[in-house]
Amino acid sequence: MTAPRPVSPALDGRHVLAVPAGTDLLPLARAWFPDARWSRTPLSPEQAAATRPASGARFRGAATAPVPVVGALSLDGVVEVDGPHPLDAAGARAVGLPGQDSALYGLPAVVAPDAAATPGLVAGWAAAVARRTGGGILPAARDRAVVPDPGSAVDLTLWSHVPLAVHDALPVVRPALSGSRTAPPAPAAPGAEPDGFTLTAAYEYDGEVVVRCERSHEVPMVLSTVDPHDHGPWAYRVVWQPPDPYELTLETPSPLHVIARQRVAPGVAGAVAALLAAVGGTVVDAGGFVVGADELERRARAR
């Protein structure tokens, strides 16, 4: 007897995005594609049963078990992602994904030439979502699973209406960057217009954390989904520069890089949390997704 296939045959020949079961994909889609919407709303078997018209008396006793409705998530009005297709933890492990109950979404096999959501953009979004949620990607060939490391997204940016002067910013971020040598830049010329600043926190073994404040004319796409009162043009970018920057490009960096990242990441989150408390705004991670204050605090405590 042939064992059942873990992945639905409906997804054959397509790249597949896997996220933890219960993940709300719509806000993650709108972070990159603000016009994303469900063109067909997914329904669980129970929801499908509740929406099914009542049968007449002559159909009594012939009821069939309700089946789920697979949704269609339109990214740009043309390109659609369909799902969720459920996959239990055992099935996920069998195909190389994280061992958790998962929801699978089929990425479009062919994209129209005039679509705003190009294949490269869709692939980049799917990889960012997988990293953000602790999921993965199944290529169409099913030769291996791609599981981005959620811990690799260290850098954060706070978007605020309020610019801080460097002498005000330094005492705000210094407590979070413990163990570092944090120094301000050279003072600006008298009468110069404020144009931001750069602070550098240097660690003996873990590289540097650079805090840069600058006014920007371009903002992440996700901020178009946020109330304009909750973000501004001043970008406080807090970026980790490891001892060997090349390791940032590796799918599997060295253990020393990972250890350094684990030591530095809470400080990055703590510095951004302190800046958020000082000037307000909205925090966006390296994948283009909003990071809330509660998540920032959790990251900062992960020492």
**Tens of pLDDT along 133-149?**
999 999 988 888 999 99
**pLDDT value, residue 65:** 60
Structural domain contains residue 3: no
pLDDT tens digits for range 147-178: 999 999 999 999 999 999 988 999 999 999 97
Structural domain contains residue 1: no
- Last-in-domain residue among 124, 143, 162: 143
Task: Name the token pair of 161.
Answer: 């209406």
Q: Which is more confidently placed, 8 or 129?
A: 129
**pLDDT value, residue 7:** 85
Structural domain count of the chain: 2
**pLDDT value, residue 56:** 52
- Last-in-domain residue among 109, 143, 177: 143
**Which letter, b or e, does each residue of 20-40 get, where b requires 16 or more Cβ atoms within 10 Å of its Cβ?**
ebebebeebbbbbbeebeeee
Residue 38, pLDDT > 90, answer yes
**pLDDT value, residue 112:** 72
Structural domain contains residue 2: no
Domain that holds residue 285: 151-301
**Taking the C-alpha atoms of 211, 216, 222 and 223 in order, what is their torsion angle to the nearest 10 degrees?**
100
Q: Residues near 97 by Cβ (< 8 Å), separated by ≥ 6?
A: 18, 87, 135, 136, 138, 145, 147
The number of angstroms, rounded, from the C-alpha of 201 to the middle of its chain's C-alpha atoms is 26
**pLDDT value, residue 294:** 94
**pLDDT value, residue 2:** 45
Q: Which is more confidently placed, 7 or 258?
A: 258
Q: Which is more confidently placed, 50 or 265?
A: 265
Rounded mean pLDDT, 262-271: 95
- Last-in-domain residue among 143, 166, 193: 143
> What is the average pLDDT value for the chain, to the nearest integer?
87
Question: For 146-152, which contacts have Cβ atoms below 8 Å and span 24 or more sequence positions?
Answer: 147/96, 147/97, 147/98, 151/258, 151/261, 151/262, 151/265, 152/248, 152/253, 152/261
Span of 44-48, 59-63, 137-141, 232-236 with lowest mean pLDDT? 59-63
Q: Which is more confidently placed, 231 or 1?
A: 231
Q: Which is more confidently placed, 78 or 135?
A: 135
Q: Which is more confidently placed, 192 or 16?
A: 16
Structural domain contains residue 87: yes
Same domain, 51 and 192: no
Structural domain contains residue 4: no
pLDDT over 90, % of the chain? 65
Residue 52, pLDDT > 70, answer no
Residue 118, pLDDT > 70, answer yes
pLDDT tens digits for range 207-216: 999 999 999 9
69 close to 42: Cβ distance less than 8 angstroms: yes
Structural domain contains residue 116: yes
Same domain, 156 and 296: yes
